[in-house]
Amino acid sequence: MKISEGLASWLRLTLIPGIGGETQRKLLAAFGLPEAIFAAERSAVRAVIGNKAELLFDFDTQKAVDRTIAWADEPGQFIVTLVDPTYPQLLLEIADPPNVLYIRGNPALLQKPGLAMVGSRNATPQGLQTAENFARTLSAKGLTIVSGLALGIDAAAHRGALSAGGGTVAVIGTGADRLYPARNKDLALQIVEHGAIVSEFPLGTPVLAANFPRRNRIISGLSRGVLVVEAATESGSLITARLAGEQGREVFAIPGSIHSPVARGCHKLIRQGAKLVETANDVLEELGQLEPSVSPDNTSPASDDNPVLIALGHGPCGLDELVESTGLGADLLLGELLTLELSGQLASLPGNRYQRLN
């Protein structure tokens, strides 16, 4: 990236241990840009933040600043500050926007309409497939899928967006130079290549439990709405949904079985006013129709030539009949049926039967 003038001062401000986001905002409100903070009299700074002023002036961050600027000088790695024109506009709307963002990949994705998709790390197979298919369909409709790179629903949402050829953003709770969890390393590298990984934490920040709830406000803040796929009643996904509501974002939830622990969080959200979602169109109706992010060649076949829709005809049809008439294996066919259901082109009926809707 092109290193902007003043970046060193922003890094100096944000790399001092003990000078957190709230303190930084107080200083910026009082003095303006970081250069003005460091040019101020110590007594004036002390009047704003008390004894923390000693840290601000005495802690040596030069080596950390140099390392960070060197990192940002590498291809595909960026640092965006609160005053940069490329800072995501939606994040400026929240009460506590990060003062600095570390980005690997394509920073332009952070300016595009986003939908956060979150859910359980211990998702059911059905939940994983639902998340992947929703993300694929919504990505093809022009939404950037935002999630947290966690195991389970997060990873499935990222995979779905990537499979559609659309964009996806992973907001992480470690430094941008660390990929966590290790099991998602390959997925993370795909996101770096075709999407963006974002962190507010300094390079080298390890896995700390307290950082993950903090990053949730960025997941919701970058998005026009949050869709919860599966979640227990005590879940980080519900924290993200609560933050979304506080930020004025839409909150969506997919219902599940009353017997499933990972459905209870979604049901709780629906009781609290979240929109019940059955198809991708339910989300698009609230957010408004968007321009497709990929060409029709990269999406599911159109209704006129989709072999599954052709086989369905215009009356209810059973799964066994569809397997025979399409020649597709049951697993592949079920995935295609779910994709068509999420896009509002068919409805599932009792007894493994399906009905075309258009």
The SS3 of residue 58 is: helix
For residue range 162-209, list pLDDT tens digits in order.
Answer: 999 889 999 999 999 998 999 999 999 999 999 999 999 999 999 999
Structural contact between residues 290 and 143, judged by C-beta atoms closer than 8 angstroms: yes
354 forms beta bridges with: 317, 348
304: CB partners within 8 A, 6+ apart? none
Q: Name the pTM for this structure.
A: 0.82
Confidence label for 289 from pLDDT (cuts 50, 70 and 90) = low
The SS3 of residue 24 is: helix
Neighbours of 190 (CB within 10 A): 15
303: CB partners within 8 A, 6+ apart? 309, 345, 358
d(C-alpha 133, C-alpha 156), whole Å = 9
Confidence label for 4 from pLDDT (cuts 50, 70 and 90) = low
84: CB partners within 8 A, 6+ apart? 4
77 forms beta bridges with: 104
With a cut of 70, say whether residue 2 has pLDDT above it: no
170 forms beta bridges with: 147, 197
Structural contact between residues 13 and 27, judged by C-beta atoms closer than 8 angstroms: yes
183's tokens: 């099991």
The SS3 of residue 156 is: helix
For residue range 95-112, list pLDDT tens digits in order.
Answer: 999 999 999 999 999 999
Is 319 exposed, middle or buried, given 0-12, 13-18 or 19+ CB atoms closer than 10 A?
middle
Q: Please tell me the predicted confidence (pLDDT) of residue 177.
A: 95
Domain annotation for the chain: domains and CATH numbers: 1-65 (1.10.150), 108-287 (3.40.50.450), 300-356 (1.10.10.10)
20: CB partners within 8 A, 6+ apart? none
d(C-alpha 87, C-alpha 148), whole Å = 19
Confidence label for 292 from pLDDT (cuts 50, 70 and 90) = low
Q: Please tell me the predicted confidence (pLDDT) of residue 313.
A: 80
Strands in the chain per DSSP E = 77-81, 100-105, 114-118, 144-147, 168-171, 196-199, 225-228, 250-253, 275-276, 317-318, 346-349, 353-356
101: CB partners within 8 A, 6+ apart? 79, 80, 81, 87, 88, 110, 198, 199, 200
Q: Please tell me the predicted confidence (pLDDT) of residue 332.
A: 80
285's tokens: 């109706």
Structural contact between residues 142 and 292, judged by C-beta atoms closer than 8 angstroms: yes
Confidence label for 342 from pLDDT (cuts 50, 70 and 90) = confident
